[in-house]
Amino acid sequence: MKSIVEELKYLTSIPALSGMEDNMVREMAARFKSLTDDVEIDRLGNVIATFKGKDEKEPSMLVFAHVDELGLMIKKVEKNGYLRFDRIGGVPEKTLMGQFLDIHSIDGKSHVVGIVGTYAHHLTPAEAKLTVPTTDKMYIDIGANSDAEVKAKGIDIGSAVTYHHHFEQIGEHLITSKTLDNRIGCLMLIALAEHLKQNPPAGTVYVVASTQEEFNIRGVLPVFYKLEPDASICVDITIACDTPDLNYKYDMSLGKGPAVTQMNFHGRGTLAGIIPNPPLRLFIEKTLDDLKIPWQRDIVLGVITDDAFTVVAGTQGTAMAHFAVPMRYSHSPIETADVRDIEAAIKALNTIVGKFDHKLDLRRGV
C-alpha cells in the first residue's frame, strides 16, 4: 500500500454513486484478489474477501465498509440544455449552488463537468439572499444549448452525478476531499487485507466492501444472511464537532484518535441505530488502551449506518461493533480528516482483528 495520502487521493477520485458502484467494486476486488484467492462479488456488488483462519473452530469475524458515495441523478433534460436532478442519499442542499459536478454518461464510460447555477449576485431577489432553495428549483449547466446536444454526450434521464474531485492537504496533518466518507473505510479494509495476508487470523475473517449504504443503508444485508458471522465490525466515519458552528455538540475532534461508537441513532421514531455488543466494544477499547492509542467515545444522534440493520441479520443476530474515524463537513465536497487518526485506526483495526479469538466471550447475560 502506498502512503495514506496517496491512496486516499486515488480512492476518492473513483466515482461510485450509490447503486452504481461498479468502479469501486472493480477496484476493491482487484485489491483483494492480489491478497487472497477467495474473492466473491454478489448480485448487489458486495465484494467478499475471505481469509481462512488457523482453526475452523474459532469464531468468525466480518469487517465491512461501504464503497458507495452520495450524489444526484438526472431526472429531466430541459429543451434548452439545462439539467434537473434528484438527490441520491443525504446531499445537503446548502453545498450545491455554485458547485462543480461530474455528470456521467448513461453507460458510465465518460463524464462532463457541469456547475449548479446560482443567482447572479447583482440581480438576486431580496427574498432569495438569505435562503437555500430546494433542489427542485436548482439546475445543472454543462454548457449545452439544447437537449439534443446533451444527449449527444451520452447524458440522459438516469445519468449519475457526483461531486467533482478536488483533493488537498491543508495544514500539517489534514486532508480534504469528496468521499472521504467512506473511502477512509475502504483504505482500512485494504490495509487489513494486507495484514491478514501476512498474519493469518485465528478464525476465518471476511473483509467486505459493501454497497448502497448511502441510498438505503441495507446493501450489505445479504452478506450477513449468507455468512452469519459470529462478530462484526463496521468501519466508517463519525462527525467531528470541533468547528465553530457545532461548538462541541458532541465531544469529538480531529487529531485525538479513532472513535469507538457507544451508540448512534437516526434521531426519529424507531428508524434504527446501533448499540454495540458490550463485550466486543470493551475488547476494542482495551486493545486501544494496550496499544497506547488515544481514542474517543462516540455518541451521535442524527447518524445511521448499515450496521443498524446487519446487527439483527441471520438466525441469531451478530455481535456488532462500530469503529470510526472523525471527519468534518460530512456529505460535502470538502470532507476533512486527520491523517494521524487514520493511521492510528489502521494499526488498531489490524490488531483488534488479529487478537480476536474464542477467549473473548461474546455471550450476553453471562
pLDDT single digits (tens) 187-200: 999 999 999 999 99
Percent of the chain with pLDDT over 90: 88
pLDDT band at 315 (very low <50, low <70, confident <90, very high): confident
Residues marked active site are found at 213
Residue 155 has pLDDT above 80, yes or no: yes
Taking 90 as the threshold, does the pLDDT of residue 314 lie above it? no
Q: pLDDT-based confidence at 270, cuts 50/70/90?
A: low
Tell me if the pTM is above 0.85: yes
Q: Quick one: average pLDDT of 72-96?
A: 96
pLDDT recorded at residue 264: 87
In this prediction, residue 339 carries a pLDDT of 98
- Mean pLDDT of the 344-352 span: 98
Read off the pLDDT of each residue in 115-122 and give the average, rounded to a whole number.
94
Task: Name residues whose C-beta falls within 8 Å of residue 166's C-beta, 6 or more positions apart in sequence.
Answer: 100, 177, 178, 333
* pLDDT of amino acid 229: 96
* pLDDT confidence of residue 99: 95
The average pLDDT across 211-215 equals 95
pLDDT at 82 over 80: yes
CB atoms within 10 A of CB 200: 13
Q: Is the pLDDT of residue 304 over 70?
A: yes
pLDDT of 186: 98
CA 308 to chain CA centroid, nearest Å: 15
Query: What does the pLDDT average to over 119-147?
Result: 93
pLDDT for 366 equals 85
Is 355 exposed, middle or buried, given 0-12, 13-18 or 19+ CB atoms closer than 10 A?
A: middle
Q: What interhelical angle do 180-198 and 4-11 show, nearest 10?
A: 120
Q: What is the mean pLDDT of residues 120-135?
A: 91
What burial letters (b/e) apply to 65-100, b meaning 16+ CB within 10 Å?
A: bbbbbbbbbbeebeeebbbbbebbbebeeebbeebe
Query: Which residues are bridge partners to 361 per DSSP?
Result: none
Q: How confident is the model at residue 158, as a pLDDT?
A: 98
Q: How confident is the model at residue 348 (pLDDT cuts 50, 70, 90)?
A: very high
User: Which residues lie closer than 8 Å to 160 by C-beta, 6 or more apart?
Assistant: 15, 17, 20, 71, 72, 73, 88, 103, 104, 108
Contacts of 245-252 with C-beta under 8 Å, sequence gap 24+, read 250/298, 250/299, 250/300, 251/296, 251/297, 252/296, 252/298, 252/300, 252/326
pLDDT of residue 71: 97
pLDDT-derived band at 303 (thresholds 50, 70, 90) equals confident
Is pLDDT of 269 > 70? no
Give me the pLDDT at residue 172, please.
95
Lowest-confidence region among 39-53, 168-182, 307-321: 307-321
pLDDT, mean over the chain? 95
